[in-house]
Structure 1
Amino acid sequence: MLYSRGNPSDYEKIYEITQDPTWKWDNMLKYFIMSEQLDDQAVLSSEFGEYHGTDGPIGVTKENREVCDEYLRAFEEAGEDVVVDNVGAGILGYSSSFYHILDGLRTTSSESYLPPLNNNPNLYLTRYSTAKKILFDGDNNVVGVTYLKDGQDVTVFANNEVIVTAGSIKSAQLLMLSGIGPKKHLKNMDITVISDLPVGQNLHNAVGAALVFKTNRKADSEVFDPHEIPAPVIVGYAAFNKSDLFPNYESLNFVIDDHQYMISFCGFTIGIENSICDELYKLTDGTQVLWSNLNVLNPKSRGEIQLRSLNPEDQPVIETGYFSDDQDLEDVVDAILDFIKIESTPFGQDNALQFLPVAEMCNGIEFGSRDYWRCYVLCMTFVSWRDAGTCAIGEVVDTKLAVKGVQRLRVVDTSVFPYALGGAIFAPTVALAEKAAEMIIHDQYQNMAFM
């Protein structure tokens, strides 16, 4: 539920690929603003207010629990900038986080955009349905889609175009099942090749490691409020060279009092081995915990998605490729070495902030050495759920998100981002959809003008 936009450099990279200025950060801002309904007067009345919207469908609030201000002092003492807002203008620094929550309830794209269309005759939704194949005529024009529902094939035809928006994994799968993808792989799967494109070949994500610190603060055992995030979050964007304008890594810092939540967060949300989570539970021993996930924001490692079978209900083969480029591992180690200095700040000393070295398989390596941290990262890897690149702009789709080599087909989801974004993916996905809607409407009016 973190609300973020990524960094200006993310969108400048897209501009470098497309040479289309509408993808530049300054132009993408309008889609973030038009989709946002921020409820935070402190931010709106600050110098960052101009970067936020108040009338959009996506409700947003800012973390305001006092404990965040206390921990922000540690980051300031460690030499990092503490700012009111590091999201709106995409700047470096640490700030309490933004959430896509309003009035104590999570705001989602479906709940925000669909209700006004309940009685719109132009919208029909089919639930519990799986797209099987995109259909083409002899000239590579899309004519429709076949989907599976209740064990039966259903075919629908398109008068104008088809839009694929199934995410980085399933959009790539559907395109390949339909004959759009790497020629060699499709032929091996006995699929007729309609357009030879590197679908699925640029899979990547922001990856890093989880660090856990205990304190001398007694955990607050108040009953959890279901209208609040269980653990307040501080988000930081930091550069190894403090004169840089763009971050090398992001830190997501959770202040945890509820240790039952910590166990769930550790084992289920992050996916760390249960034995490690159990050890953390013992070591924290009823104290308040600072849990920090560090993400390297410019990963060089790449993975790939391939079809497992011709059955759309079979999950594709996913090769994540995490740390396949050694530089990513070195960058995570650099992020840890830059971050862990908070232990020695006055705040860290006063609150006995202590890193917990729970990766037992690294115990035989000199603690604090680069070899130790390399081992630790591989034991405590954190993945940020920002898969991107499988239908990348410039490779698979053009600047208007139209699939190359065919007509009347677009992809509108995170798979088109050629790089993993430096922030939570929800808001950029909504902004992408707003931009795509604008392009689609513009193209439709253009087509009508020529008829």
Structure 2
Amino acid sequence: MNNKLLIVLLLILIVSQAIIDEQVIDFYSDIISKVYDNGLRYRFPKNAFEHCATEKPKKYGSYDFVIIGAGAGGSVSANRLTEVPYWNVLLLEAGQYGNILTDIPDMFYPIQFTHYNWAYNSTPQKTACLGLVNRVCLYPRGKGVGGSSLINGLVYARGHKSDFDKWAKAAGNERWGYNKVLEYFKKSEHFVHRDPDAPYEPKFHGHGGYLNVEYHLYRSPHLNVFLDAHKEIGLDIVDYNANRLGASPSQLNTFHGTRLHNAKAFLYPINKRSNLNILTGSYVTRIILDTNVNPPVAVGVEFSHNGHNYYVEAKKEVILAAGVFGSPQILMLSGIGPRKHLQDVGIKVVKDLEVGTTLRDNPTFFGLSFSTNYTEPIRPLKDYVKQFLNGIGPLTVPASNQGIGFYESSYTRGTGVPDIELMLIPANSSNILSQRSFGLTDQTYEDVWKYVNATQTFTVYVVDLHSQSIGSVKLKSKNPYEYPLINSNFLSDPQNRDINTLYEGIQLVLKMSQTKAFRSIDAKLQPGFLRACKQYRHFSRDYWYCALRQLTINLYHPLGTCPMGTNPKKGAVVNYELKVFGIENLRVADASVFPFTLAGHPNTPTVMVGEQLADLIKFTHKGSSGLWDYFL
């Protein structure tokens, strides 16, 4: 081939690739624009009637294990159990697989206005969420293969070592203590230290696991100011997953800037395993219990699929991983729950347990914004898409949550145990869906965000990590397609620890605002005066306590509705082996088993729960021929 012909061919190849790249960029830009427009019109579901089927159930088949829910716990459990080649597993999921939009981390808000969101709501509240429409807290929950990791903020924050040592005491077993759970965290993780300026302690991280963890690129100047302010007031820049107090750029579950939801991490790599069947569009209505024996035994699952009802036999165990609302709902529909409540809705009681009576979350104040003299440039959407396709830029960070920090409160001072979390949201993080995403009334939105200059304003979220307030999840009726009744009950603890902790978090941010770092960009607290608190002097203590009631909502971290413990008479639903008390062959593996809130974000500990469950099951059935080859 002569040189001229080679040059011509290379030019043709370059031009062709440029055309293809431009087509890809146009495609992404088009769907991003459309999904925002869709979000303004989208109507949230009020129930699960779309899955309703009324015919008599037909047998679907028999499996060794039936897993309900393909979120963090279910995805990991399915992966690890099918490592045993002669076990067959059915994974039932009500939603569908993710798509291109779920792969883009900053579609965090618009993806909530799609079928990937169950879109639960709380009952009207009395102590928090008062600035929201009808005083209702919104509860986006992921519906699809990957669960809530399809729509969450992707922050990789495990919790503090003290949380797990406390968990071990609650469970009565050291396998839930920090030294043991750290092994599981590292087993799942593959840490990529792609920001050399970000803190990193290798001994606390894993390599070679399914779950990628990385820092985003590149930093906003607002993040750098936030970190510099810490140094000025004597706080450290740390790897917070090494049990340190201080701040850092956010560690995220992304892979080269794309969303790594739990299904992409744990299910997609094993989709060729012949002993795993993932059945989407499958809505579970109850667990089939054999009550002719004592104790009762879980023997199967009933579910609807494509307009038909089915039941499937579980030869070994049923694993419930339907999430903090779905798991208690399914248990109660199956006759496992508080006796009086089940009787009130007309369900025969099989086992009297405190299912759904201890809903917890991380109450979060969203009302701190600062104007600055730095203007974040607004680029054409195509430029952001180009950056995303190269693994960098604003589309790689959900809701632009670039910074995160953990701090003591007066309740934990001197212990090293974080009680407060701050999250830094740089400029250009708000969008046309912000009001709908938070559920704000027109008045609240106008008071706080409507008139700010989004290109110059950053926000700091204040999080109460160890909330004392307790809510509940109850059945609306015995109809399995009705959504449950969710009472958040934030800021209701009688000692007022939760609201006091959040107020201390506000004061910490205000202290940072006096630093040279903040002054270098002329950062000033936005007026944002809430008319609901007009009777108080602006930014006085009484004003902040009023504002906290208005703008404290959930961080989408619900947990604890089927808590682990040693004594069902004291509220425990599962034991340290994740087994439901008083029921054979039934375990729970999701965030509902957390006995209390953690100083972290629930997705990562839920992955750990799934890892633990698989090993516990392998140990239970280790007598099976040849199983030692696959155990631990």
Question: Residue 300 of structure 1: which of 468, 472, 480 is its match?
Answer: 468
In the other structure, the counterpart of 2:525 is: 355
Asked if residue 91 in structure 1 is aligned to residue 259 in structure 2, the reply is no
CA gap of 1:17–1:264, structure 2 versus 1, over 3 A, is: farther
Relative distance call for 1:233 and 1:272 in structure 2 (3 A) is: farther
Alpha-carbon separation, structure 2, partners of 1:30 and 1:185: 40
Counterparts of 2:282 and 2:199, CA distance in 1: 46
- Conserved in 2, the CA contact under 8 Å of 1:220 and 1:288? no
Map of 1:151 onto structure 2: 307
1:23 matches 2:176: yes
Aligned to 2:229: 74
Distance in 2 (alpha carbons) for counterparts of 1:45 and 1:386: 26
The residue aligned with 1:312 is 480
CA-to-partner distance for each residue in 1:37-92, whole Å, 9 max, x for gaps?
Answer: 11115679976111111211111111343423332101222332222x112x1221
Alpha carbons of structure 1 residues 38 and 181: separation in structure 2 relative to 1, 3 Å: same
Which of 382, 398, 402 is the matching residue for 1:233?
402
- Quick one: structure 1 residues 290 and 446, their matched pair in 2 at CA, closer, same or farther if it must change by over 3 Å? farther
Q: Which residue of 2 aligns with 1:219?
A: 376
User: What residue in structure 2 maps to residue 118 of structure 1?
Assistant: 271
1:432 aligned to which of 609, 616, 620: 609
CA drift of 1:448 comes to: 6.3
Q: Which residue number in structure 1 is paired with residue 559 of structure 2?
A: 388
Q: Does 1:178 align with 2:338?
A: no
* Separation in structure 2 between the aligned mates of residue 235 and residue 47 of structure 1, nearest angstrom: 14
- Structure 2 residue matching 1:250: 3-state secondary structure: strand
SS in 2 for 1:14: helix
Per-residue CA shift, 1:234-259, capped at 9, x if unaligned?
10101135533101110111112x2x
**Aligned residue in 1 for 2:148:** none
Query: Which letter does structure 1 place at the counterpart of 2:431?
Result: I
User: 2:315 is aligned with what amino acid?
Assistant: N
Q: Which residue of 2 aligns with 1:342?
A: 512
Larger radius of gyration: 2
Structure 2 letter corresponding to 1:333: Y
Amino acid of the structure 2 residue aligned with 1:350: S
Counterpart pick for 1:50 among 200, 203, 211: 203
SS in 2 for 1:158: strand
Query: Structure 1's 144 and 336: CA in aligned 2 closer, same or farther, altered over 3 A?
Result: same
Matched residue, 1:329: 499
> Which residue type is aligned with residue 375 of structure 2?
K
Counterpart residue identity of residue 178, structure 1: S
Task: Tell me, in whole angstroms, the C-alpha distance in 1 between the residues paired with 2:433 and 2:408.
Answer: 27
SS of 1:3's partner is: coil
Once the two structures are overlaid, the 10-residue window that deviates more, 229-238 or 63-72, is 63-72
Q: Secondary structure at the match of 1:55?
A: coil
Structure 2 contact 378–455 (Cα < 8 Å) conserved: no
Shifted more, 114-123 versus 370-379: the winner is 114-123
Q: Deviations over 1:3-52 (max 9, x none)?
A: 11112122122111122111111211111111111111567997611111
Could you list the runs of 5+ residues in structure 2 that have no partner in the other structure?
1-153, 389-395, 566-571, 628-632
Change (3 A) 1:369 1:446: farther
Contact 2:225–2:518 (CA under 8 A) maintained in structure 1: no
The residue that corresponds to 2:356 in the other structure is: 200
Amino acid at match of 1:413: D
Residue number among 527, 538, 557 corresponding to 1:367 in the alignment: 538
Does 302-311 or 358-367 show the bigger shift?
Answer: 358-367
- Write the distance in 2 (CA, Å) between the matches of 1:400 and 1:327: 32
Aligned residues: 445
Q: Percent identity?
A: 29
Mapped to 2, the partners of 1:203 and 1:72 lie a distance apart of: 34
Question: Deviation string for 1:80-112 (max 9, x for gaps)?
Answer: 2222x112x122111111111112211111112
Shift of 1:278: 4.4
Gaps of 5+ in 1: none
User: Which residue in 1 is equivalent to 2:280?
Assistant: 127
Q: Deviations over 1:431-450 (max 9, x none)?
A: 11111111111111146699
Deviation (angstroms), 1:403:
0.2
SS in 1 for 2:426: strand
Q: CA deviation at 1:208?
A: 2.3
Report the Cα offset of residue 268 of structure 1: 4.1
Contact 2:230 2:512 in 1 (8 A): yes
Shift in Å, 1:170 = 0.7
Q: Give the structure 2 partner of residue 412 of structure 1.
A: 589
Contact 2:373 2:522 in 1 (8 A): yes
2:574 aligned residue (386, 392, 397): 397
How far did 1:153 drift? Answer: 1.6
What do residues 88-145 of structure 1 show as CA deviations (whole Å, max 9, x unaligned)? Answer: x122111111111112211111112212332323211221111111111112011111
| TM-score scaled by length of structure 2 | 0.67
- 2: CA distance, partners of 1:183 / 1:277: 42
**Larger deviation: 121-130 or 169-178?**
121-130
Is the counterpart of residue 422 in structure 1 residue 599 in structure 2? Answer: yes
From 307, 312, 316, the equivalent of 1:160 is 316
TM-score (ref. length: structure 1): 0.93
Residue identity matched to 1:380 = L
Write the distance in 1 (CA, Å) between the matches of 2:306 and 2:183.
41
Q: 1:293 to 1:117 in 2, by over 3 A?
A: same
Q: Which amino acid in the other structure matches residue 412 of structure 1?
A: A
> Structure 2 vs 1, CA of residues 366 and 76 (structure 1 numbering), >3 Å: closer, same or farther?
same
Range that drifts further, 175-184 or 113-122: 113-122
Tell me, yes or no, if the aligned pair for 1:38 and 1:52 is still in contact at 8 Å.
Answer: yes
Residues 169-207 of structure 1, C-alpha deviations (whole Å, 9 max, x = no match): 010000000010001111122212111100000001110
Using the TM superposition, give the Cα deviation of residue 232 of structure 1 relative to its aligned residue in structure 2, in angstroms: 5.1
Which one-letter code corresponds to 1:79 in the other structure?
A: G
Contact 2:591 / 2:606 at 8 angstroms: preserved in 1? yes
Tell me the SS of whatever aligns to 1:116: helix
- Which deviates more, 226-235 or 318-327? 226-235
Across the aligned residues of Structure 1 and Structure 2, the Cα RMSD in angstroms comes to 2.2
- Asked if the contact 2:233/2:512 (under 8 Å) is kept, the reply is yes
Give the SS at the match of 1:404.
coil
Which one is further off, 347-356 or 160-169?
A: 347-356
